[in-house]
Structures are given as structure tokens and as C-alpha cells.
Amino acid sequence: MAAPLEPWRVSAFNTAKLSENKMHDDNVAQRFGFSGGLVPGVEVMAYMMHLPVVRWGREFLERGLIEARFVKPVYDGETATVSGHDEDGALAIEVESRGALCATGAAALPERAPVVDLRDYAETAPAAVRPPIGPGAFAPGLWLGTAPVTWGGAKLREYLAEIRETEPIYLANNLVHPGTLQRIMNRVLVDNVVLGPWIHVGSKMQLLAAASGDDTLTARAKVVANYDKKGHRFAEFDALIVANGTTPIAHCHHIAIVQPRELAAA
């Protein structure tokens, strides 16, 4: 049996205060009933990834599976405590802050990474002109792309500082933190549509290879669902993160409220 993992405590940092998504702005978020700007879900998921990397090391970066659901906000400057325990061969993970459960999820290490056919995911450029969010945005079946990005060198060091990650495996081996892949998944939305305030509510990610800081990364994403739930407008995306146009790095399912009910009803 694996040794119990010590909880991972992070001083949460709102990396998106100045982003287009004003759900991360204190004043706007308060109008939606929150205490302040939300720490992005992709960063909370990055906090969660610390434990499986401690448990499985590079093997997790090469073929690990992780999923997360965000149930309450994490706020800037507050302590987020990430805890994990073994459950049916997986690692159950929870994030608590301000005495509340903020995120739940699980991580596992499959015996091998699944084979994904690159030809099943259409290479698509991001929108040349982004339309505003509206009834026709994120239509099911639509293919979306992202601008290419690299995460090596100083950019990786800055990212690791932002998510408070201290594991040496990334800088020692020029490996990209998988949380950056979740940032790319957010780009699927914002590189293609002009959004108002929106909320990332959950993701599932199967890692297929460890990305290098020298890799150029893009997403090839398909809208697989678009629906109303409790007045919110949701969209779901199935995507492949690809390195250098040739190597699948991660298979992702991303869920977001693209129009909160306050805006969808406007």
C-alpha cells in the first residue's frame, strides 16, 4: 500500500485579475454573489495535480488521468488545502478553503496511455474575428483551434511561481506542468468568442505524453454539447492538445458556463 500523502497547502493566487473574463475581477464577481474575484478553475486544478505527481512522478506526466469539479470558489490570498487518499486504485482529491469544500476530483495511473488518432481531431485556426457570445456561439459539432504557445524557460518558471509549485521535476527536466494544458483549454473559448463573465466548472484530462518546454502546443477542439441548466448556458468541449503539430499530449474534456443565468436572461 502506498504511503499516505501529506496535504498540500497553497496560498491561492488569482492569476486572471486583468483578464477578459471579469468573473476574476472583484467588483464584477461581487455582482454575481461572490465575495471577490475567483481564482481560475484551471489554477485550482493545477494545485490538485501536485499530489499525483508526488505519488507517481514522471509516469503521471506521461500517462496520468485526472478529473476535477469546482463546487465553490477559491479566493485570492486564501489558503487552499489539497488532500488525497487512496480509493479503489485511484487517488481521491479534495480542495478546501475557508472551511468549505471547493473542488473534488480523482487521479489515476493507467498501465499505459491510450492510443489517440491525430486524424480524428481537425487542425483548426483560431477565429480571425471573434464573434460575441450569443445563441449561435459554440454550436455542437463546431471545430475550434488555439493560437500556438510554448511554456519553457522563464515562462515556465513564472507559471510555477504563480501556482506555488515547488516540485523540482519540471525545471530539472524541462517538462511542462500539465496545468498549462488546462490554460490552453481555456483558450479554446477565449480565442474564438468574445465572452462576458464565464466560469470553468470541470475538466477531465488524460495525459498521453510529457510535454517539453521546447514544444509548441495547440488545441484541436470540438464542441460536443451546448445546453441550459438552471438558467445557465453550458458548453462542453472534447479536445486534443498537440505538440509541434504531430504528437498528442493530452485528451481533454472541458465544461464551462459560458453565460451565467444573469447574462443569459438579459
Top-confidence residue, 49 or 21:
49
The rounded mean pLDDT for the chain is: 94
User: Could you report the per-residue pLDDT of 177-228, keeping only the tens digit for each?
Assistant: 999 999 999 999 999 999 999 999 999 999 999 999 999 999 999 999 999 9
* Cβ contact 80:12 at 8 Å: yes
pLDDT score for 25 = 85
Rounded to whole angstroms, the Cα distance separating 252 from 198 reads: 19
CA-based Rg of the chain, rounded to a whole angstrom?
18
Question: Ramachandran region of residue 89, left (φ > 0), alpha (ψ -120 to 50) or beta?
Answer: left
Q: Is the pLDDT at 80 greater than 80, yes or no?
A: yes
Question: C-alpha grid cell for residue 168?
Answer: 523540482
User: Could you report the per-residue pLDDT of 44-64, keeping only the tens digit for each?
Assistant: 999 999 999 999 999 999 999
pLDDT score for 265 = 44
Rounded to whole angstroms, the Cα distance separating 46 from 27 reads: 25
Report the interhelical angle of 41-56 vs 179-190 (nearest 10°).
150
